[in-house]
Amino acid sequence: MFYAPSFWFKTFEKVLEDVPDTSIEESCENAVVVFYHAEETDVDRRSNVITKFVKNVKWLAGKFKTKNLVLHSFNHLSTSKAPADFTGNLTAEVKERLTQAGFTVVETPFGYLNEWKIHVAGDSLAKVFKEL
């Protein structure tokens, strides 16, 4: 997770056949940017993973007094990968819970490679790794 005074992304290439076609370019300011990855073991721990995911995001957002979030699937974080449909559904539930908690949530398109630019703040808490 990163605290980013600015974040920009643009869809680049679709990599999953069963996701909708889309072309998006968007930017966010004063946001917690979460690069996430679901692993095979997360399938059996779904509820716990969602709870910890939401809790960790809220914690970091609170440190920077922001309600702006960016969720970015980054399945390069591990060699273990959960099925794409599991990860997509898990992320949808996380996004719903965070939205219900008053956050503005931007999600880079799942199943796409994206270009992005990120300005990460210098504070030590602006760069946090959490394993769920």
What per-residue confidence (pLDDT) applies to 26?
A: 96
Q: Quote the pTM value.
A: 0.90
What per-residue confidence (pLDDT) applies to 121?
A: 94
Q: Is the CB of residue 65 less than 8 Å from the CB of residue 31? A: no
Where does the pLDDT of residue 24 fall: very low under 50, low under 70, confident under 90, or very high at 90 and above? very high
Is residue 39's pLDDT more than 70? yes
Closest Cα to residue 130, out of 46, 57, 44, 42?
A: 57
Architecture of domain 2-126: 3-Layer(bba) Sandwich (3.50)
What per-residue confidence (pLDDT) applies to 76?
A: 65
Segment 12-32 shows an average pLDDT of: 94
Q: Is the CB of residue 34 less than 8 Å from the CB of residue 72? A: yes
Condensed to tens digits (0 to 9), the pLDDT of residues 50-103 reads 999 999 999 999 999 999 999 998 876 567 889 888 998 999 999 999 999 999
What per-residue confidence (pLDDT) applies to 84?
A: 86
**pLDDT over 90 percentage in the chain:** 77
Q: Alpha-carbon distance 110 to 78, whole Å?
A: 17
Q: Alpha-carbon distance 53 to 98, whole Å?
A: 10
Segment 1-17 shows an average pLDDT of: 95
